[in-house]
Amino acid sequence: IFQTPHNITGNKTGYNTNSTLVNLTTTNSTTVRLTLTNGNSAPELTALNITPVPAYTNDTITINTTYTDVDNNAGTIYFLWFLNGTNIFNQTNLSITNGTTIFSALNGNNFSRSDRINVSVYADDGTVNSTLLWSNNVTIQNTNPTVTSIVITPATAYTNDTLRINTTYTDLDTD
């Protein structure tokens, strides 16, 4: 038999200690409810920012997000890059402090015209993971060819001459 009022405390590893003071005389109840809350909140990532849009075969695509954790725990950020739905590259950033903006990049050697690129990102604070975020899809656009030289012959032309033009060009997409 406990004297009233009586302080009841609950403990569980990994949870915040919670206690309540119960006065059975004033509550006229024998039921006591004690709620324990998890001592660690999930980290959060800001909305993903993927650039450039539009992207071309000679671009480097970058993405960034900012890591926050209300418990001020350092975390690990995982970037998973996808090409046409298949994971092609992963980047892991360790010991990220609260409020840090993290970047990841994929260069043009990894994709071709008409490919679709997107990225998933999540964080882990050592106890719990954040929500998995997905970037918008970026479709790699056609790059216009570039004329690199123009030669007109003959160099000196007269009224009745036939002019010939020889051009050299490059096309990053090879189309």
pLDDT in tens, the chain (175 residues): 555 555 556 655 555 555 555 555 555 555 656 555 557 899 999 999 999 999 999 999 999 999 999 999 999 999 999 999 999 999 999 999 999 999 999 999 999 999 999 999 999 999 999 999 999 999 999 988 889 899 999 989 999 999 999 999 888 777 7
Write the CA distances from 154 to 41, 163, 166, integer angstroms: 77, 6, 11
No. of H helices and E strands in the chain? 1, 14
CA torsion 65-70-72-75 (nearest 10°) is: -40
pTM exceeding 0.75: no
